[in-house]
Amino acid sequence: MWEYYNEKSILVTGGSGFLGTAIVHRLLTSTSVSCIYLICRGGKEKIQTRWRKWLPHGTLERLHHSIRLVVLDGDILLPNLGLKDPGLNAIRNNIHVIIHASSSINMIKPVNRLARTIIEPTETIADFALSCTQLDRFVYVSTAYANAHLYQRSQNTDVKIDEKIYELQHHYHAFDELNELRKHGKSQAYEAENFPWAYAYAKHLTERMLKSRFTEFSSSEKLLIVRPSVIGPAQCLPFPGYNMPMSSPYTVIAAGLALSPSRSLKIATNMEDPTADVTGDEVPVDVVADRLLCHLAMGSHGCVHAVSGVRSRLNFESWRQSLMKIRRFPWEIRPRWVRKDWKSLNQHPMARLYAIFGTSFAFSETKTIAMCRKVPEKELSNLQLFTKIDMSDNLLDRTEGIRYVMDQFARQNWLAWD
């Protein structure tokens, strides 16, 4: 499988981020890529500062001193990715694979602002990719929760999400929606659907925009959309417990609830027995990286989930009990389930922010299971394709990250959640 990467030149956006770093490390340590280009505002100095903060010395040195790693001072929010000739043309004429892993995880920003930071940069990168003379594949990192709006349509409380692009109810055209966002800062499509956050809609629209763009250029088989669920600390690579805490939502949630003096956690749900049935899907970052790179090498296209899935997703009650072991207050915080819409103000602030606390999604893993039958057994044993650790009970293994988030809350003078 790894032979696919021999002598390939790969461009990675978000290469200094949580997932991007795991991807870059895997490529440098397991493949014979000829060159990995990273685009980072501030260039090499900025990326080294970030890596120095989260990586142990040995891992850091391996990345810093690789002659195959080229860091470009660019900006994906700018035309031509903020790059100038002759470097821009050199990349355009030599790149084989583009992995677009750069994206903020923001549950607060309105849709018009997310259009400028998620949708439009992806459109720019896709257009650049389609102009690359040697392009073999384009990978976009989306989110499994891009289809969270289906929960409000379903009669089931454990909603199955397949590895496909779901059209909206009124079949809006992606570029019409994007033009509407540019002109008016909103879209009829977004207002017609009950997405938990504008972020999910922005990812959903981006997926549809990419499908349309690559189909237009008869390049649909070059497009791979990888949908992680909530990304959490690594189970193995680049080292067990590898984490960038502010990019790990469940780490942030644990820190916020550990600081909260509340005795109850009011959460909206429509489940009959939420204590038993509410789940969350947190997936180790190395599982996401390996699924992405493996599906890419094996020629998968369309949408692929990178999730813990039904077998390994976390149970809310088990996770809550783990949280109590690190909580700063002598009393427990217990869920108080309310029959409300997930955007209801009648919830704990954390539940309002993350919106899907009282839900359960069954993300399909059909494509990864099928792919495993094609990967040689020797290579398969060294891949992190499935979650093997208990994500409900590993908060004690990330106490350093939780403390870091707590310190960030304190430095920003955040009051404890009430």
DSSP string, 383-416: ---S--S-GGG-GGGGHHHHHHHHHHHHHTTPPP
Which pLDDT score is estimated for 83? 86
pLDDT tens-digit map of 24-68: 999 999 999 999 999 988 888 889 899 999 999 989 988 888 899
CB 23, CB 36: distance < 8 Å: no
Q: Residue 418 — pLDDT band, cuts 50, 70, 90? A: very low
Q: What is the mean pLDDT of residues 277-281?
A: 96
% of the chain beyond a pLDDT of 70: 99
Which of 149, 151, 200, 147 has its CA nearest to residue 360? 151
Domains of the chain: 2-239+282-314+361-391 (3.40.50.720)
- Kindly report the pTM of this predicted structure: 0.95
CB 350 within 8 A of CB 256: yes
Query: Mean pLDDT, to the nearest integer, of 147-158?
Result: 91
| Cα→Cα distances 393→230, 242, 283, Å | 16, 16, 13
| The pLDDT of residue 396 | 87
User: What is the average pLDDT across 115-137?
Assistant: 94
> What pLDDT, on the 0 to 100 scale, is given for residue 103?
82
Q: State mean pLDDT over 83-88.
A: 80
pLDDT of 416 strictly over 50 = no
